[in-house]
């Protein structure tokens, strides 16, 4: 891990020093800054805030929004909320797995894509929905999945 990243971790910790009940918010900030939470970051928080690593690790491993492994440059989120499910979401997920050659929650070896399952994004009218990074694609068919993935660089 390069030092620049630890600087960023320190900066984030600075925002919260002295406040109560901040661990989840702090980890979320690190996740969004680095796109994952490296071991070194957990240790740094522990050291500076005097919280046992085990306690920090427990939170980081419990929540879905936090990742302890590096994630791909593009996050492909397939919605499998109920509305998307009844409109064929699982078929979309199958197709995405097939194209990327990975399971949900995994990252391609070239670090280009991470495939995630999400349980409802609240845009049920567009189901089934695939979100790549921050772009929403609604009313997807299995045939369209490839197109969407191929447009990522």
Partner 1 sequence: MPKLNSATELEELRQDILSKRDPNKRCIAICAGTGCLALGCGKVITAFKEEVRKQGLEGKIDIRETGCPGFCENGTVVTIYPEGIFYIKVMPEDATEIISQTIIEKKVIERLLYVDPATNEKVVHEKDVPFYKYQTRILIGNNSKLDPKSMDDYIALGGYSALAKALSHMTPEQVLEEVKKSNIRGRGGGGFPAGRKWESVRNAPGEPKYVIVNCDEGDPGAFMNRALMEGNPHSVLEGLTIGAYAIGSHEGFIYVRAEYPLAVENVGIAIRQAEEYGLLGENIFGSGFDFKVKVHRGAGAFVSGESSALMTAIEGRVGEPRPKYVHTSEKGIWDSPSCLNNVETWANVPLIINNGADWFDSIGSERNTGTKIFSLVGKVNNTGLVEVPLGTSLQHIIYKIGGGIPGGKKFKAVQTGGPSGGCIPEKFLDAPVDYDELAKLGAIMGSGGMIVMDEDTCMVDTARYFLDFLADESCGKCTPCREGIRQMLGILTDICEGRGKEGDIELLEELAEVVKDTSLCALGGTAPNPILTTLRYFRDEYKAHIEQKKCPTFVCKELTSYYIDPAKCEACLICLRNCPVGAIDGGKGKIHVIDQSKCTKCGTCFDICPDRFNAIARISGEPVPPPPSEEERVVVRVEK
Q: Which residues bind partner 1 (CB under 8 A)?
A: 20-25, 27-28, 58-59, 62-66, 80-83, 85-88, 91, 94-95, 98, 118-127, 129, 136, 138, 141-143, 146
CB of 34 to partner 1, least distance (A): 15
CB of 13 to partner 1, least distance (A): 14
CB of 3 to partner 1, least distance (A): 27
Q: Is 1 or 86 the residue whose CB approaches partner 1 more closely? A: 86
Q: Which of 98, 101, 95 is nearest to 142 (CA)?
A: 95
Q: Is 141 or 151 the residue whose CB approaches partner 1 more closely? A: 141
Q: Is 7 or 101 the residue whose CB approaches partner 1 more closely? A: 101
């Amino acid at each position: 891990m390069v030092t620049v990243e630890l600087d960023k971790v320190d900066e984030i910790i600075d925002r919260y020093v002295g406040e109560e009940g901040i661990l989840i918010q702090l980890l979320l900030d690190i996740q969004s800054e680095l796109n994952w939470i490296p071991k070194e970051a957990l240790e740094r928080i522990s050291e500076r805030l005097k919280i046992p690593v085990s306690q920090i690790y427990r939170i980081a491993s419990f929540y879905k929004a936090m990742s302890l492994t590096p994630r791909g440059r593009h996050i492909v989120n397939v919605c499998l909320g109920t509305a998307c499910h009844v409109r064929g979401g699982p078929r979309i997920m199958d197709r995405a797995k097939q194209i990327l050659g990975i399971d949900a929650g995994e990252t391609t070896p070239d670090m280009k894509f991470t495939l995630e399952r999400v349980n409802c994004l609240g845009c049920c009218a567009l189901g089934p929905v695939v979100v790549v990074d921050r772009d929403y694609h609604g009313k997807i068919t299995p045939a369209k999945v490839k197109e969407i993935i191929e447009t990522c660089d």
